[in-house]
């Protein structure tokens, strides 16, 4: 059977040029996309059930679940930092994914052997667990991407890598609809665990692939997987507060999640108004997820790479706050469920299709320790802190009777600050990348007389 390698050289060149790939980057990008496909399939198998279970005791309880999730992510961060300090890269990834697979097996056993213990409280526990699981498995994936690919490669290939995740986010809900009835809901947990194990295999293969080549490295494991990073379990906390660049990324993520949480709770309120039972709510939420992912896929394939290459990371990052502000103004004017679906679809499509690849490229120019530890702190605790701030602000505005008008008066100023921060981060990333390239081109100093 003919393969891409069997194609004439000029056809391969055109294909690489179309996707803006350099020679030898095809295999690593393909494996990375497969890795992300498995991760997002596992997540999206479970997400509609998570949201539906969280609403069982009312929307106000979801706001408190956000607080619980933030506390748990803060507690888990030093544990993850400790793992990264003491284990090699693949070992730390394996320990993280292995823990979540074991947790899924534990939830499955509870559903099968102790169904009487399942209630509202256990549903809330699953909600918090899934929210932590969601952040850590994607954070670990992107940390490896930032470690594996250079700054230039990140700007060119992260959009393509993200396509794999989007396909997984589309495939996951579809697989749920196909398997939930014949296998039962508990079995979906095992299916999700299986995809995480496949993701771990893809991570192993990605590390074995030689940088800039399409062949598998057969060197010893210690050469393929660098020595452990070392350092303190709390290094990620300190790095974020010590570095203006990392603090800027944290501020961007915080503003992004605050506004996304406004949209999230607006959606929950509208869905609760049109559906009373868990199954109907889950179906509505699942349909929104599926069509949003289709929009994300279109953006990733057609626009993201071109926007980053033509206008830079700063503009790519600024598109989300601008689009969100416009969407909230439209929602305040019309206030219909259809407009909400369009707002959420546009927000999440831009966030995942354009913003996420650009935001992850910001981490390609930081120290290796920060790619794992500081990134973990930003992508988990800061992310969930934004959820808490957004949830409590939205609830307070609702209790004051301000509702949508109050949200718009908050979102517009936040969007202006958010867009300005995006442009600053884009310029800072370019400066850091230039410094890194200059350091790489500077020849090593000659040894002094008498030195070896």
pLDDT at 430: 93
Residues near 372 by beta carbon (within 8 Å), at least 6 away in sequence: 84, 92, 143, 147, 229, 236
pLDDT bracket for residue 321 (50, 70, 90)? very high
Query: Pick from 131, 144, 136, 113: which is nearest to 62 by CA?
Result: 131
Say if residue 251's pLDDT is above 50.
Answer: yes
pLDDT tens for each residue of 341-350: 777 777 778 8
CA 382 to chain centre: 13
What residue ranges define each of the domains in the chain, with the CATH number in brackets?
22-433 (1.20.1250.20)
Element (H, E) at 170: helix 151-183
- Burial zone of 432 (CB within 10 Å; 0-12 exposed, 13-18 middle, 19+ buried): middle
pLDDT tens for each residue of 46-77: 776 665 555 555 556 666 777 888 888 888 89
Q: What is the pTM of this model?
A: 0.80
Instruction: Please state, in angstroms and rounded to a whole number, the distance separating the CA atoms of residues 394 and 375.
Output: 27
2 or 397: which leads in pLDDT: 397
Say if residue 223's pLDDT is above 50.
Answer: no
Say if residue 213's pLDDT is above 50.
Answer: no
Q: What one-character DSSP code corresponds to residue 377?
A: I
Instruction: Please state, in angstroms and rounded to a whole number, the distance separating the CA atoms of residues 260 and 391.
Output: 10
Q: CA dihedral defined by 374, 376, 377, 383, rounded to 10 degrees?
A: 130
pLDDT at 451: 39
Say if residue 108's pLDDT is above 80.
Answer: yes
């Amino acid at each position: 059977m003919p393969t891409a390698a069997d194609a004439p050289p000029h056809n391969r060149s055109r294909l690489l040029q179309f996707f803006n790939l350099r020679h030898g980057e095809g295999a690593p990008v393909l494996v990375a996309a497969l890795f992300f496909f498995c991760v997002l399939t596992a997540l999206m198998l479970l997400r509609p059930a998570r949201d539906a279970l969280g609403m069982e005791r009312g929307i106000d309880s979801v706001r408190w679940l956000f607080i619980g999730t933030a506390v748990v992510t803060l507690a888990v961060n030093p544990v993850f930092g400790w793992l990264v300090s003491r284990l090699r890269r693949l070992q730390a990834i394996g320990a993280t994914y292995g823990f979540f697979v074991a947790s899924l097996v534990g939830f499955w056993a509870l559903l099968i052997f102790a169904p009487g213990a399942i209630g509202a409280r256990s549903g809330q526990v699953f909600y918090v667990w899934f929210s932590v699981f969601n952040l850590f498995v994607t954070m670990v994936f992107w940390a490896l991407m930032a470690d594996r690919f250079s700054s230039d490669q990140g700007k060119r290939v992260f959009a393509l890598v993200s396509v794999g995740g989007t396909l997984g986010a589309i495939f996951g809900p579809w697989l749920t609809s196909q398997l939930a009835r014949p296998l039962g809901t508990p079995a979906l947990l095992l299916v999700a665990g299986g995809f995480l194990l496949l993701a771990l295999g893809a991570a192993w293969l990605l590390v074995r692939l030689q940088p800039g080549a399409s062949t598998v490295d057969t060197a010893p494991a210690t050469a393929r997987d660098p020595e452990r990073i070392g350092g303190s379990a709390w290094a990620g906390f300190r790095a974020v507060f010590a570095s203006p660049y990392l603090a800027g990324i944290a501020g961007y993520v915080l503003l992004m999640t605050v506004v996304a949480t406004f949209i999230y709770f607006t959606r929950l309120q509208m869905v609760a108004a049109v559906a009373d039972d868990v199954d109907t709510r889950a179906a509505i939420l699942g349909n929104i997820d599926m069509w949003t992912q289709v929009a994300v896929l279109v953006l990733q394939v057609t626009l993201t790479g071109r926007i980053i290459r033509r206008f830079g990371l700063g503009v790519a990052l600024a598109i989300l706050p601008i689009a969100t502000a416009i969407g909230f103004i439209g929602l305040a004017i019309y206030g219909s469920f259809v407009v909400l679906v369009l707002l959420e679809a546009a927000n999440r499509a831009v966030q995942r299709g354009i913003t996420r690849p650009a935001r992850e490229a910001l981490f390609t120019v930081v120290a290796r320790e920060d790619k794992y530890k500081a990134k973990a702190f930003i992508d988990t605790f800061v992310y969930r802190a934004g959820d808490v701030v957004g949830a409590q602000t939205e609830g307070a505005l609702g209790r004051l009777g301000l509702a949508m008008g109050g949200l718009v008066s908050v979102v517009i100023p936040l969007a202006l600050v958010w867009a300005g921060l995006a442009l600053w981060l884009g310029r800072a990333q370019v400066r850091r990348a230039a410094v890194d390239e200059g350091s790489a081109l500077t020849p090593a100093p000659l040894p002094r007389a008498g030195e070896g």
